[in-house]
């Protein structure tokens, strides 16, 4: 009598659609393009994924870290996953397959492992970062916050309508750290008649509140009126947020993020590089430092901030009032009348000596937040200033990532 053939088992990688905030981090990180999305879901193609785990640490919510033991022939396909509202439960394996211990089941065999660093930044926080809370509130259990402030932080006559929005949580817990983000659930339904997905926004306030000692936080939100190509487009969540009035209620999920966090030890230096609303986490970190200025424990702050003009640079007034010996401010203006076009990467090169001095100090962490396009430009500039100083950029870049000292949040 012939024994039954053992079924080939797959440890299938799945994304939980109820937790995922559709931030695109996993798709960007995947070194072999196994992750794709439509307007509903982000999904993993079982025919491509090799279980390399590169996408797992960067995911701000942990939605990415779901696995099911499946008979390969029955693996969930991309189309099926795109239609999911929730993850299916575990399936019982046939006896011939279930005998395999789970840890012995390869995700997919025969594909090469990725290079050790597939992302430009670190996937671990700085060693002294405080431990963050994540996913306390989800799509199914959102928190209601009250709007206690909403005002414009760019010149009224400019096209950049950027708002500073303060949300208060009353007596309910919403513990956050600088560098973390939250999700906002806009009311109403999308074109398919489903509730809108959450939109992610970085905190602009430090851990102890927009107003120190209060249970509130702030966001920096740009009203979206056009897409990346410049065509007219209505940003569902940004317009909702920018139009909120005091005392309105907002549904919030999160917090998210466990790597883009600031160091917590004395004399840690921060190099902050941002454009537009990417200034939110830089404001949070700077404010954290400002509130403890009298302790004498602060390291140096070096800021590179890009905007079209001064009037389109969020928080321009308050930023310029900060003492020069507290923060070294470098503004890169790209469309200021009578001035040459400058990007943050140009200023990094101009300030090469200061950047090199800080890079040489292992107490320095670098944060980059804003337009996706600046990622390459900033990396090139950091490489150039390092090489000019006679150092090997690839060695330094690897160390910055391994030590959790170089962080990107771009969109
Ligand atoms: P630009 O004038 O060329 O658009 P935005 O106002 O669209 O949010 O952009 C913020 C700033 O970032 C602007 O000064 C913009 O310049 C600049 N910027 C655009 N692309 C890049 C890039 N690839 N690298 C650095 N800065 C950029």
The arithmetic mean of pLDDT across residues 158-173, rounded, is 97
Residues 293/157, Cβ–Cβ less than 8 Å: no
Report whether pLDDT(321) > 70. Answer: yes
In the chain, what percentage of residues exceed pLDDT 90? 83
- Is 23 tagged catalytic? no
Q: What is the pTM of this model?
A: 0.90
Q: Which residue has the higher pLDDT, 145 or 5?
A: 145
- Name the residue with the closest Cα to ligand 1, atom 10: 307
Which of 201, 289, 315, 367 is labelled catalytic?
A: 201
Contacts of 405 (CB under 8 A, 6+ apart): 122, 126, 362, 364, 365, 366, 399
Ligand 1 binding pocket mutation candidate from 229, 275, 277 (most atoms within 8 A of CB): 275
Determine the pLDDT at residue 5.
Answer: 61
Residues 24/37, Cβ–Cβ less than 8 Å: yes
How far is the centre of ligand 1, averaged over its atoms, from the C-alpha of 138 (Å)?
Answer: 33
Q: How would you label 107-119 residue by residue, b for 16+ Cβ within 10 Å and e otherwise?
A: bbeeeeeeeebbb
Ligand 1 binding pocket mutation candidate from 279, 312, 334 (most atoms within 8 A of CB): 334
Contacts of 52 (CB under 8 A, 6+ apart): 31, 32, 113, 114
- Is 411 tagged catalytic? yes
Report whether pLDDT(95) > 90. Answer: no
Determine the pLDDT at residue 3.
Answer: 62
Per-chain mean pLDDT for the chain:
92
Lowest mean pLDDT among 116-130, 214-228, 288-302: 116-130
Report whether pLDDT(96) > 90. Answer: no
The arithmetic mean of pLDDT across residues 93-119, rounded, is 57
Q: Which residue has the higher pLDDT, 190 or 162?
A: 162
Backbone angles phi, psi at 328, to 5 degrees: -95, 105
How far is the centre of ligand 1, averaged over its atoms, from the C-alpha of 227 (Å)?
Answer: 14
Count the Cβ atoms, other than its own, within 10 Å of residue 163: 23
Determine the pLDDT at residue 356.
Answer: 98
What 3-state class would DSSP assign to 255?
strand
Determine the pLDDT at residue 97.
Answer: 67
Determine the pLDDT at residue 110.
Answer: 36
Residues 383/391, Cβ–Cβ less than 8 Å: no
- Give the model's confidence band at 6: pLDDT under 50 very low, under 70 low, under 90 confident, else very high: low
Ligand 1 binding pocket mutation candidate from 371, 382, 411 (most atoms within 8 A of CB): 371
Element at 14 (helix H, strand E): strand 9-14
Nearest atom of ligand 1 to the alpha carbon of 332: 14
How far is the centre of ligand 1, averaged over its atoms, from the C-alpha of 203 (Å)?
Answer: 21
What 3-state class would DSSP assign to 10?
strand
Which of 118, 214, 310, 411 is labelled catalytic?
A: 411
The whole-angstrom distance between residue 371's C-alpha and the CA centroid of its chain comes to 12
Contacts 24+ apart (CB under 8 A), 104-111: 105/9, 105/10, 105/11, 105/69, 106/11, 106/51, 107/10, 107/11, 107/12, 107/13, 107/49, 107/50, 107/51, 108/10, 108/46, 108/49, 108/50, 108/51, 111/32, 111/50
Determine the pLDDT at residue 2.
Answer: 61
Q: How far apart are CA 375 and CA 59, in angstroms?
A: 18
Q: DSSP states of 135-200 as a string?
A: -SB-SSS-EEEEEEEEEE-S-TTSS--EEEEEEE-TTS-----TT-EEEEE-SSB-TTSSBPPPEE
Nearest atom of ligand 1 to the alpha carbon of 160: 6
Determine the pLDDT at residue 294.
Answer: 95
- Is 369 tagged catalytic? yes
Nearest atom of ligand 1 to the alpha carbon of 308: 14
- Is 42 tagged catalytic? no
**Segment 253-288, tens digit of pLDDT:** 999 999 999 999 999 999 999 999 999 999 999 999
**Segment 323-333, tens digit of pLDDT:** 999 999 999 99
Q: How far apart are CA 63 and CA 373, in angstroms?
A: 26
- Give the model's confidence band at 8: pLDDT under 50 very low, under 70 low, under 90 confident, else very high: confident
- Name the residue with the closest Cα to ligand 1, atom 22: 374
The arithmetic mean of pLDDT across residues 297-301, rounded, is 97
Report whether pLDDT(103) > 90. Answer: no
Determine the pLDDT at residue 260.
Answer: 97
How far is the centre of ligand 1, averaged over its atoms, from the C-alpha of 151 (Å)?
Answer: 23
Q: Which residue has the tokens 């509140």?
A: 209
Residue 283 structure tokens:
């404001």
The arithmetic mean of pLDDT across residues 278-300, rounded, is 97
Measured from CB, residues less than 6 Å from any atom of ligand 1 are: 160, 275-276, 306-308, 334-335, 343-344, 371, 373-374, 377
CA–CA distance from 68 to each of 17, 76, 251, 303 (Å)? 15, 10, 31, 45
Determine the pLDDT at residue 100.
Answer: 53
Nearest atom of ligand 1 to the alpha carbon of 335: 2
**Segment 125-162, tens digit of pLDDT:** 999 999 999 999 999 899 999 999 999 999 999 999 99
Q: Shortest CA distance to 202 belongs to which of 296, 129, 278, 95?
A: 278
Q: Which residue has the higher pLDDT, 60 or 277?
A: 277
Nearest atom of ligand 1 to the alpha carbon of 312: 6
Residue 62 structure tokens:
């942990």
Residues 281/408, Cβ–Cβ less than 8 Å: no
- Is 394 tagged catalytic? no
Report whether pLDDT(379) > 70. Answer: yes
Which of 181, 202, 218, 238 is labelled catalytic?
A: 202
Report whether pLDDT(111) > 80. Answer: no
How far is the centre of ligand 1, averaged over its atoms, from the C-alpha of 371 (Å)?
Answer: 7
Determine the pLDDT at residue 113.
Answer: 47
Residues 307/276, Cβ–Cβ less than 8 Å: yes
The distance in angstroms from the start CA to the end CA of the chain is 61
Ligand 1 binding pocket mutation candidate from 343, 349, 369, 377 (most atoms within 8 A of CB): 343
What 3-state class would DSSP assign to 320?
helix
Nearest atom of ligand 1 to the alpha carbon of 373: 23
Q: Which residue has the higher pLDDT, 116 or 377?
A: 377
Across the strands, what pairs with 42? 37
């Amino acid at each position: 009598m012939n024994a039954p053939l053992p079924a080939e088992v797959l440890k299938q990688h799945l994304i939980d659609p109820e937790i995922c905030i559709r931030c695109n981090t996993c798709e960007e990180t995947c070194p072999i393009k196994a992750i794709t999305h439509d307007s509903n879901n982000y999904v993993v193609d079982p025919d491509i994924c090799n279980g390399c785990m590169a996408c797992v640490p960067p995911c701000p919510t942990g939605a990415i870290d779901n696995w099911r033991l499946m008979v390969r022939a029955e693996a969930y396909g991309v189309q099926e996953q795109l239609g999911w509202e929730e993850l299916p439960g575990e399936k019982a394996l046939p006896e011939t397959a279930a005998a395999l211990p789970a840890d012995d089941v390869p995700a997919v065999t025969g594909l090469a492992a990725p290079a050790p660093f597939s992302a430009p930044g670190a996937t671990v926080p700085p060693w002294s970062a405080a431990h963050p809370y994540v996913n306390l509130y989800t799509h199914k259990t959102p928190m209601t916050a009250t709007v206690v402030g909403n005002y414009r932080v760019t010149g009224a006559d400019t096209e950049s309508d950027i708002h500073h929005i303060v949300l208060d949580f009353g007596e309910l817990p919403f513990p956050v750290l600088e560098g973390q983000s939250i999700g906002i659930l806009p009311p109403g339904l999308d074109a398919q008649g489903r509730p809108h997905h959450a939109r992610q926004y970085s905190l602009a306030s430090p851990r102890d509140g927009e107003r120190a000692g209060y249970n509130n936080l702030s966001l920096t939100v740009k009203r979206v009126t056009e897409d990346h190509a410049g065509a007219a487009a209505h940003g569902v969540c940004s317009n909702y947020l920018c139009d909120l009035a005091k005392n309105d209620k907002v549904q919030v999920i999160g917090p998210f993020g466990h790597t883009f966090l600031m160091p917590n030890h004395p004399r840690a230096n921060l190099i902050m590089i941002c454009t537009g609303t990417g200034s939110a986490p830089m404001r949070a970190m700077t404010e954290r430092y400002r509130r403890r200025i009298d302790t004498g424990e602060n390291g140096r702050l070096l800021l590179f901030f890009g905007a079209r003009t001064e009037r389109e640079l969020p928080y321009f007034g308050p930023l310029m009032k900060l003492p020069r010996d507290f923060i070294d401010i470098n503004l890169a203006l790209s469309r200021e009348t009578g001035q040459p076009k400058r990007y943050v990467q140009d200023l990094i090169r101009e300030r090469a000596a200061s950047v090199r001095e800080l890079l040489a100090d292992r107490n320095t962490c670098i944060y980059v937040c804003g337009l996706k396009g600046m990622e390459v430009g900033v990396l090139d500039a950091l490489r150039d200033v390092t090489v000019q100083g006679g150092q090997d950029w690839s060695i330094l870049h690897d160390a910055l990532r391994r030590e959790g000292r170089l962080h990107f949040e771009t969109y």
